[in-house]
């Protein structure tokens, strides 16, 4: 900026990596769909050779995401799970991973049903207990995998404290920060080494693009990730990168609105006679509230989970919702509702689900940007089922 000040978050969301097209002045940079780039002579490129390796639209996206997360490097992928897979491919057979026990179901399935076959070992722990993470680390532990807030119970992990212990044990710490987005939480500032996003969620924000990203300020990790991004090839299309850039421009506005509405809805649900329990870190009786207030930037996210008496009642409520769409995913402009036990977390074995508290009566809401009174009215009529 002219006065030397670093531009604020919302300014960077609109401008970082998105400078007007130098050739035409177009304020929306073009999408570069080309798969290959002409070389001036053998080995003499203008910065690009082949779009799996690098692409101008993808580079713009990576620059914007890195700026928002406060990272030196961003590597973009075709989905959140493609990002997770490629990151885990940096490990060696026999390496051990400690992970938080209510991770996203697809992450659990990747660890348990795929990567175990390649001789990686995994231990699930309640990462809200820093001592439990420490106790689970062995001399083969290379990675500690956290989510915060967790999915679907919105538990809050002390990222700084876990990172300190993990580093003493020689492990790298990765935080899947999808639920918070960089508007609310920046794990690298808290001591984590790597941040992962399913950009399908808040970053895209419109339920029209699947993507993922890994961010770090560690040059060594970034270099190996870039090699694997190209070698493994799970890259996003230029059009998907462009859609993500379009979504990022309004990220801050959307997330602030979603947080305000989520907080209002959580308080309303807490008073409803058919609701047994509400999980939302913004509620002052939530066990992670104080930590979230310290670790997150002034708001607590757009996801609220609540429990009703039984799976049958949850099914009925979900069937009756009219504005909330019964659908997986979260973080977009439209409000969504789902049953973690029967939908997003069905791939987690029932015993493990019960152990962490994901019962059949649990409903997860992703709050969109609609009028909050309409959303409350919808929940009210559905809970009357
Ligand atoms: C917290 C979290 N991490 C990762 C993923 C996986 O991302 P994707 O669906 O983009 O592969 C999801 C998807 O729901 C998620 O909720």
What's the pLDDT tens digit per position in 252-292?
Answer: 999 999 999 999 999 999 999 999 999 999 999 999 999 99
184, 301 contact by CB (below 8 A): yes
Report the separation in Å between the CA atom of 81 and the middle of ligand 1, taken as the mean of its atom positions: 6
For ligand 1, atom 2: residue with the closest CA: 104
* Domain co-membership, 206 together with 320: no
Distance CA 199, CA 216 (A): 16
Phi, psi torsion values for 96, nearest 5 degrees = -115, 140
175-195 average pLDDT score: 98
Q: Which domain holds residue 91?
A: 9-248
Looking at 202, 219, 248, which one is the last position of a domain?
248
Burial of 93 per CB tally in 10 Å (0-12, 13-18, 19+): exposed
Peptide bond into 123 cis (omega under 30): no
| Mean predicted confidence (pLDDT) in 365-375 | 98
Tokens of 354: 């019960």
Position 277 in a domain: yes
For residue 4, being part of any structural domain is answered with no
Joined tokens for residue 132: 């439990």
385 has pLDDT over 80: no
Q: In whole angstroms, what separates CA 122 from the centre of its chain? A: 21
Taken in order 290, 291, 296, 300, the sign of the CA dihedral is negative
Query: Is 1 a domain residue?
Result: no
Q: Percentage of the chain surpassing pLDDT 90?
A: 93
Put simply, whether the predicted model's pTM sits higher than 0.85 gets the answer yes
**Residue 2: pLDDT over 80:** no
- Is the per-residue pLDDT at 308 higher than 90? yes
- Which of residues 204, 220, 248 is at a domain's end? 248
Q: State the Rg of the chain over Cα.
A: 21
CA within 13 Å, CB half, 142: 14
Closest CA relative to residue 104, chosen from 351, 353, 298: 353
CA of residue 272 to ligand 1 center, whole Å = 30
* pLDDT of 170 higher than 70: yes
> What per-residue confidence (pLDDT) applies to 164?
97
Q: Which residue has the tokens 């808290």?
A: 190
pLDDT 10s digits, 42-74 = 999 999 999 999 999 999 999 999 999 999 999
Question: What percent of the chain stands above pLDDT 70?
Answer: 99
Residues 174 and 262 grouped into a single domain: no
Residues 241 and 306 in one domain: no
**Residues 67, 210 contacting (CB under 8 angstroms):** no
Q: Decide if pLDDT at 151 tops 70.
A: yes
Give the angle 88-92-95 at the CA atoms, nearest 5°: 85
Active site residue 52: yes
Q: Supply the CATH number for residue 302's domain.
A: 3.90.1150.10
Ligand 1 centroid – CA 124 distance (Å): 18
CATH of the domain at 223: 3.40.640.10
Gap from CA of 174 to ligand 1 centroid (Å): 14
The count of structural domains within the chain is 2
Is residue 177 predicted with pLDDT exceeding 80? yes
Which of 219, 248, 277 terminates a domain? The answer is 248
Q: Which residues of 351-364 are buried (b: 16+ CB within 10 A; e: fewer)?
A: ebbeebbbbbbbbb
- For residue 347, what pLDDT is reported? 80
Its sign, for the CA torsion 33, 34, 40, 46, is positive
For residue range 4-16, list pLDDT tens digits in order: 888 999 999 999 9
| Ligand 1 mean position, distance from CA 111 (Å) | 14
Residues 99 and 221 in one domain: yes
Measuring from atom 8 of ligand 1, which residue has the nearest CA?
Answer: 80
- Using most ligand atoms within 8 A of CB, pick from 82, 83, 198, 303 the residue to mutate for ligand 1: 198
**Shortest-distance atom of ligand 1 to CA 210:** 10
Is residue 129 predicted with pLDDT exceeding 70? yes
pLDDT at site 355: 85
In a shared domain, residues 81 and 92: yes
354 pLDDT band, cuts 50/70/90, is confident
Give the position, in ligand 1's atom list, of the atom nearest the Cα of 107.
4
Indicate which residue's Cα is closest to atom 14 of ligand 1. 329
Closest atom of ligand 1 to 199 CA is 10
Catalytic residue among 58, 201, 257, 315: 201
Which among 134, 176, 193, 360 is annotated as catalytic? 176
Which residue has its alpha carbon closest to ligand 1 atom 10? 80
Same domain for 17 and 141, yes or no, is yes
Same domain, 235 and 299: no
pLDDT at 3 > cutoff 90: no
What's the rounded Cα separation, in Å, for the pair 190 and 201?
22
Q: Per-residue pLDDT for 217 more than 90?
A: yes
Q: Kindly report the protein residue whose alpha carbon is nearest to atom 15 of ligand 1.
A: 104
Mean pLDDT of the chain: 96
Active site residue 355: no
- Among 106, 157, 244, 301, which is best to mutate for testing ligand 1, by the most ligand atoms less than 8 A from CB? 106
DSSP for residue 294: H
Is the pLDDT score of 1 beyond 80? no
226 and 259, same domain (yes or no): no
Distance 26 CA to ligand 1 centre (A): 33
Residues 93 and 199 occupy one common structural domain: yes
The ligand 1 site (C-beta within 6 Å) comprises 79-81, 104, 106-107, 147, 151, 176, 178-179, 198, 200, 210, 212, 329
Q: Which residue has the higher pLDDT, 105 or 272?
A: 272
């Amino acid at each position: 900026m002219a006065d030397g000040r670093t531009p604020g978050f919302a300014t960077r969301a609109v401008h970082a990596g998105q400078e007007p097209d130098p050739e035409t002045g177009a304020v929306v940079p073009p999408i570069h769909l080309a798969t290959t780039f002409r070389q001036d002579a053998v080995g003499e490129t203008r910065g690009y050779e082949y779009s799996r390796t690098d692409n101008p639209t993808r580079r713009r996206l990576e620059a914007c995401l890195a700026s928002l997360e406060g990272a030196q490097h961003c590597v973009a992928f075709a989905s959140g799970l493609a990002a997770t897979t490629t990151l885990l491919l940096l490990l060696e057979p026999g390496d051990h991973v400690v992970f938080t026990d209510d991770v996203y179901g697809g992450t659990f399935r990747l660890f348990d049903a795929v990567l175990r076959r390649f001789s990686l070992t995994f231990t699930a722990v309640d990462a809200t207990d820093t001592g439990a993470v420490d106790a689970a680390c062995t001399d083969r532990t290379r990675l500690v995998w956290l989510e915060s807030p967790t999915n679907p119970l919105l538990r809050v992990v002390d990222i700084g404290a876990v990172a300190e212990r993990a580093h003493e044990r020689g492990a790298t710490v990765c935080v899947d920060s999808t639920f918070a987005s960089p508007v609310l939480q920046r794990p690298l500032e808290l001591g984590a080494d790597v941040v992962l996003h399913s950009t399908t969620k808040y970053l895209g924000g419109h339920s029209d693009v699947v993507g993922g990203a890994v961010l770090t300020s560690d040059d060594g990790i970034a270099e190996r990730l870039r090699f694997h991004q190209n070698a493994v090839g799970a890259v996003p299309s230029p059009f998907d990168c462009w859609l993500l850039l379009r979504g990022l421009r309004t990220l801050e506005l959307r997330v602030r609105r979603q947080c305000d509405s989520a907080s209002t809805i959580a308080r309303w649900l807490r008073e409803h006679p058919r609701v047994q329990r509400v999980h939302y870190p913004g509620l002052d009786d939530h066990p992670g509230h104080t930590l979230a207030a310290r670790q997150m930037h002034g708001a607590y996210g757009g996801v609220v989970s609540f429990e009703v008496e039984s799976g049958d009642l949850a099914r009925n409520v979900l069937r009756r919702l009219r504005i909330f769409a019964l659908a997986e995913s979260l973080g977009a402009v439209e409000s969504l509702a789902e049953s973690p036990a029967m939908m997003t977390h069905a791939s987690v074995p029932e015993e493990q689900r019960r152990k962490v508290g994901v019962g059949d009566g649990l409903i997860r809401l992703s709050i969109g940007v609609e009028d909050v009174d309409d959303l409350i009215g919808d929940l009210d009529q559905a809970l009357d089922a």
